[in-house]
Amino acid sequence: MLDKLERLPADSILGLAAIAKADANPNKVDLTVGVYMNEDGVCPVFKAVKMAQAALQQEEVSKSYLPPAGVDAFNDGMQQLLFGAGHPALRDGRVSSVQAPGGCGALRIGAEIIFAAAPTAKVWVSDPTWPVHLPLLGSVGLEFETYRYYEPVSHGVNFDGMVEDLKRAQTGDVVLLHGCCHNPCGADLSLEQWGVVADMAEAQGFVPFVDIAYQGLGDGLEEDAAGLRLLAERVPEMIIAASCSKNMGLYRERTGAVMFVCQNRANAEALVSQALVAARRVYSMPPAHGALIAGRILSDQALDEIWRTELMDMCGRMNGLRTGLREKLEAASSRDFAFIEKEKGMFSFLGLSTKQAIRLREEYSVYMLDSSRINVAGVNARNIDYLAQSVASVL
């Protein structure tokens, strides 16, 4: 039986990262996988995470299963983080949540709920979107439509095209939105544009599904959640997939949550029961370590303040890298790269052709996706000049 299965190609991003890792060129630049790197090229552990982890190790007396819904302090803390204290949806008891194995697990449970409620619903995804959105949501049997989003010429959001396409979304359809720091283009909606999307959701009856994996890495924790909060005030129903991989550095701990904004408290409670049944058949029980750490940070004022300061510093460094990269590229190429500075989060399209991206890999050991999507956090003081000169050489 098993010998009939053929070898599949490696994931396009992870496979390229493996090639970069094996490259012996001391000048190589790896801009592939979306992981935050510090100036030393290391994905760091937050001080607040180390402190919470140390306290947990001192206190922990059991490795038994968590409750199926996960850590209460984590679920409550994530709701407060995303919606803000006093949000009407929280005040009215319209929000419920379940801990999940990372943002991916949250997306998958959200997809399970959509399929259970409306198996013929179409999920509208942006063009482009994170490639893993499609297998995560499509594996339950959901079908997709796409809406225009990124405009390569302007390096910004094609909002007119987005609106025109979403006019075809029907009642009961689902529209997948990036909460902030769009992956892979870094071009975000303005708050005014979020309001237009809310108007359309109210009028047409589609359900927003917000994937927010980078809160705090764009303009700040509050600013990055503004669009999500606006939607939650306006629409009767929405789904949210949240992750602590990036803003707490808990990548390997798989720490995420799926949230449901419902029409009333009873419906919110019903959604938890549905999510737990879905989780039982997908992964059974949630992982503990990351959620215990995140829950401790979010519920402890001192740790929370330390974490917020660290995250703010990280965000500031990312925005500084964007400014520096723009300046270096413009100086090396005499071309306009102002768009890099306007984008948010970890990603940007440099606007290169596939041929140019391949040349960068083969001739200069500069690794980016064929689309020229780069992880800005892979840039540092040691490689920025080499990167800029290499890009200029293939233009």
Query: pLDDT of 240-276, one tens digit each?
Result: 999 999 999 999 999 999 999 999 999 999 999 999 9
Residue at 58 is within a domain: no
Residues 209 and 285 in one domain: yes
Q: How far is CA 5 from CA 1, 14, 15, 153, in A?
A: 8, 21, 20, 42
The average pLDDT across 17-29 equals: 94
Q: Do the bridges between strand 150-151 and strand 156-157 make them parallel or antiparallel, or are there none, so unpaired?
A: antiparallel
Cβ neighbours, 10 Å, residue 14: 10
Q: Decide which of 299, 323, 356 is a domain's last residue.
A: 299
The helix/strand/coil state of 211 is: strand
* pLDDT beyond 90 at 52: yes
Which residue is listed with tokens 């801009």? 31
Instruction: Please give the single-letter amino acid code of residue 204.
Output: Q
Q: Decide which of 299, 328, 358 is a domain's last residue.
A: 299
Residue at 265 is within a domain: yes
Q: What is the pLDDT of residue 111?
A: 98
Tens digits of residue pLDDT in 61-111: 999 999 999 999 999 999 999 999 899 999 999 999 999 999 999 999 999
d(CA 20, CA 43): 16
Q: Do the bridges between strand 174-178 and strand 347-349 make them parallel or antiparallel, or are there none, so unpaired?
A: unpaired
Closest by CA to 190, choosing from 152, 162, 211, is: 162
The average pLDDT across 317-346 equals: 96
d(CA 339, CA 154): 8
Residue at 111 is within a domain: yes
pLDDT band at 12 (very low <50, low <70, confident <90, very high): confident
Active site residues: 130, 211, 246
* pLDDT beyond 90 at 10: no
Containing domain of residue 359, as a range?
A: 2-45+312-394
Residues 37 and 177 in one domain: no
* pLDDT beyond 90 at 11: no
Tokens of 57: 């190790």
Cβ neighbours, 10 Å, residue 270: 14
Closest by CA to 197, choosing from 212, 176, 214, is: 176
Task: Report the CATH number that the domain containing residue 377 is assigned in CATH.
Answer: 3.90.1150.10
Is the torsion defined by CA of 55, 70, 130, 209 positive or negative? negative
Tokens of 190: 């303005």
Helices (H) and strands (E) in the chain — how many of each?
Answer: 16, 13
Question: What is the residue-averaged pLDDT of the chain?
Answer: 96
Helices (H), the chain: 12-22, 47-59, 72-83, 88-91, 102-117, 133-138, 159-166, 191-204, 221-224, 226-234, 265-282, 289-299, 301-333, 338-342, 354-364, 384-394
Percent of the chain with pLDDT over 70: 100
Q: Decide which of 299, 330, 362 is a domain's last residue.
A: 299
* pLDDT beyond 90 at 9: no
Instruction: Please give the single-letter amino acid code of residue 22.
Output: A
Residues 180 and 82 in one domain: yes
Half-sphere exposure of 287 (CA within 13 A, CB side): 18
Query: How many structural domains comprise the chain?
Result: 2
Tens digits of residue pLDDT in 197-209: 999 999 999 999 9
Which residue is listed with tokens 């989003």? 149
